[in-house]
Amino acid sequence: MNLLTKIGRQIETLLKHSGSVYGQLVSASSENGCDIILVNFTPTSLCQYRVHDIRNSELLIFRLEEGVRPAVFPLREDFPLTSHQNIDGDRRELCLFDLTYEELKSLLDGSFLLKQVDDWLCRVASDELHGVSQPLEPYFFTTDSMIVLTEPSLPRFHLQPVAISGLRFFVQHTLPRNADCFPVIHVHYKIDVETDNIIKSLPRNLHELIDAFPSNKIEDEIAKMLITAEREMTDRNTLEKAHILLSLLISKTMPGSDRESVIEVRCALTKQKGASLRRLLGLDMNNLGAKDLTAIEIELHSYCYDIDKVHAALYNGILEHGALNTKILQIGVGALGSQILNNCVRAGFGVWTLVDKDIFLPHNVARHKLDPGDFGSYKADIMGAWLDEFYKEQESPKRQLSYPIDVLKPEKHDDVCRLIQTSDVILDTAASRAVSKVIAIDHHHSRRIIAFFMNPSGSSAIALIENKERTCRIDTIEYEYFKRLVDHPLHSSHFERTEKVYYSTSCRSSSSTIPQDAVAAYSALCSKKLKNALISECAEVLIWTEEDDGITLDKFKPSQYQKHELTDSSGDIWTVLISNEVENEIKKARLATSGVETGGILVGDIDKSRNIIYIVKNIPAPIDSIHAPTSYIRGCKGLPGKLKNIADLSHNVLGYVGEWHSHPSSDTSKSSDDDVLYEAMKDFASNNCSPATLIIVGSCDYSIYI
């Protein structure tokens, strides 16, 4: 008789061949659309000393059907009970695959199936089939139905059945949502078992469920909960419609193993309800104690954990729970900020407080986490409401998470201070230099700041990260970023702009044309970096840039800055911050030209509102400069072009701030020639309403004059 399936015909041919290593074909037939092949199977590499009694010849039935995963059954009555068998009553099936038929079919042929059976038998014999790191087998067979409990601690609630593509779900609701919802009385019961790692048949009634465990008091717990419900529930109609939902917490351990116990949660739902259920449990006052547990039909369902922070972190591979409760003050929840927040919250990461003064408008939808229905409200408030509802944890009362305030307004200073003091770290995604400086300088605090933003065209994203001690502050780190743009050819087009699009009639009502693709890609990199940065203690600058074949990363450690407090001729107090790199450069330049004086040009920025001078970069003496043992005259060849190039590449942030030159001795006081030079510098600087900065470098130290 011709077999129906291709794989059946292949197995028949292979086993009839005189050189077959897998044993002998006993019979092959077809019935009810399936091929049934009986094989006297001889495993090829059985170990000499066997843990399980797998014999040199095993009688097996192969059941093969087109479009269905092959099934193989041992016929020997005393075939050993082991893991990786599906047991249904007296019938056992070898669990050969952990793939569905659709995933398996491209591999499946007669030779593959015979090899799988051979491997299964040989590895079971030596007890190597279930690896040490492999999870324990389920206590019961899995089902295609699932119960989703959003608040599992509640003793009474409603379940709503949902059927999708052949799968059944029951979703918990406190109150009925529709006519399909039905009430349940919820019983928790924990059972400690020593498992033999063999999957058991699904119990069909309460008696079989109780019988599946060595000793327990399940029925007593159910009776107690029913009696409590009768006493407490005033709505008798709901009580009569109530089913029992039994959540079994099965704590599994392997005898003789040092592995920790594993909790498996399964839910048993009774088909009976109300008075019928009480009668079968022996609680009917007219027939007290007369039980019939076999008549209480049950359905066993898989249990689906509701999402909470711990499980979200687990699904994201975050195993350090301490990071989940890091208190993060996020300033700015625009396009990039909202998507960074979304990534982190979905990973269970952080306890968030949000600050943003902007209102969510229609054009924001193009790149924002929020939806069109959220128009007209503050971004911080809408994102805060979303955040507050994301993990419905009963033990966490709702808190004020959002503040639609402008951190640049002096009248909000105290509010911002309070928010900073109650946070662990500040995430600056406002993409505003003014905001960064207010947070870094004007609010005196020890909270670490991490800033993320994108360049105007959206081709790059930037991370500025303070060190834990804040000795490398965000304002100086930002100048290190601008210096990098000037020094590194990779960033020559960093500030190229795209066309703006106007969304309203106001001249300020314009939006950039940054693609959502870029915001999504860079938000993923930023959120990942945020998590990693909180583990590290060092300061960093990262510049991700989109290229034709992917994204490149320029990563470096920023220079620290030395602080000097000085008073100018008018009595104003100024702070001069000079980078260690510039300090080292000018000292080395003096040593390299021993015997003659040398000098250069100081490049940086001046914050006139805070009286801060940032010295970020040194331009060495131009080639037409005159160096002599007791004098130095700075040349200018090529200097205007260099300064213009620096301004262009730094988006007009960095520019000329002063001069430096060396003295041959340790004396760093101004000479008469220096006084003349300095007066000329002040005249030039006064045209820009700026101070003049002169540094004189001696053999031991240097002095700064403003």
Q: State the pLDDT at residue 193.
A: 85
pLDDT, mean of residues 47-64:
93
**Position of tokens 């200097």?**
639
Three-state DSSP class for residue 243: strand
Could you tell me how far CA 64 lies from the centroid of its own chain?
44
| pLDDT for position 394 | 41
Ranges of beta strands (E only) in 84-151 are 85-88, 91-94, 145-149
The predicted structure's pLDDT at residue 257: 66
- Comparison of pLDDT for 320 and 51, the residue scoring more: 51
The pLDDT score that the predictor gives to residue 396 is: 47
Taking alpha carbons only, the member of 663, 688, 538, 701 closest to residue 613 is 688
Helix (H) or strand (E) holding 6: helix 6-16
Mean pLDDT of 569-586: 94
Compute CA 372 distance to the chain's CA centroid, rounded to the nearest angstrom: 26
pLDDT score of 237: 87
What is the average per-residue pLDDT within 21-46? 93
Question: What is the CB-side half-sphere exposure of residue 37 using CA atoms within 13 A?
Answer: 32
pTM of the model: 0.78
Residue 387: per-residue pLDDT: 87
Q: What is the mean pLDDT of residues 126-141?
A: 74
Q: Which residues of 539-559 are buried (b: 16+ CB within 10 A; e: fewer)?
A: bbbbbbbbeeeeeeebeeebb
Of 130, 115, 155, 359, nearest in space to 245 by CA: 155
Please give the pLDDT value at position 2: 85
Return d(Cα 464, Cα 484) in angstroms, integer. 12
| Confidence label for 529 from pLDDT (cuts 50, 70 and 90) | very high
Domain spans of the chain, in order of start:
6-125, 145-306, 313-556, 561-705
Q: What is the mean pLDDT of residues 114-134?
A: 84
pLDDT attached to residue 199: 74
**CATH says 6-125 is which class?**
alpha beta
312 closest CA partner among 349, 337, 339: 349
Q: Tell whether domain 561-705 is in CATH 3.40.140.10.
A: yes
Band (pLDDT 50/70/90 cuts) for residue 259 is low
* Model confidence pLDDT, tens digit, residues 164-218: 877 889 999 888 888 899 999 999 888 888 877 777 788 999 998 988 887 778 8
| Cβ atoms of residues 453 and 429 within 8 Å | yes
Q: Alpha-carbon distance 79 to 121, whole Å?
A: 11
The tens digit of pLDDT for each residue in 452-479 reads 999 999 999 999 999 999 999 999 999 9
Six-digit token pair at 181? 């919802």
| Segment holding 278, helix H or strand E | helix 274-280
CA-wise closest residue to 312 among 383, 391, 393, 394: 391
* Residue 397, pLDDT score: 45
Express each pLDDT in 533-553 by its tens digit. 999 999 999 999 998 889 999
- Measured at the CA of 71, the angle between CA 67 and CA 74, to 5 degrees, comes to 165
How many helices (H) and strands (E) are present in the chain, helices listed first? Answer: 17, 32
Whether residue 391 is predicted with pLDDT greater than 50 in this model: the reply is yes
pLDDT digits (tens, 9 = 90+) for 411-451: 999 999 999 999 999 999 999 999 999 999 999 999 999 99
With 90 as the cut, is the pLDDT of residue 10 above it? yes
The secondary structure of the chain in percent helix, strand, coil, rounded to multiples of 5, reads 30, 30, 40
User: In the structure, what pLDDT confidence band is assigned to residue 395 with cuts at 50, 70 and 90?
Assistant: very low
Query: Residue 1 — pLDDT band, cuts 50, 70, 90?
Result: low
The closest of 41, 42, 43, 13 to 28, measured between CA atoms, is 13
675 vs 1 pLDDT, higher one: 675
β-strand 460-465 against 540-547: which pairing, if any? antiparallel
Q: Encode pLDDT of 342-381 as tens digits.
A: 999 999 899 999 999 999 998 889 899 999 988 889 999 9
Tell me if the domain spanning 313-556 has CATH number 3.40.50.720. yes
- Per mean pLDDT, which range of 11-15, 124-128, 388-392, 701-705 is the poorest? 388-392
Note the pLDDT tens digit of each residue in 58-87. 999 999 999 999 999 999 999 998 888 887
Give CA separation, 548 vs 318, 459, 545, in Å.
32, 11, 10
Please count the other Cβ atoms lying within 10 Å of the Cβ belonging to residue 281. 23
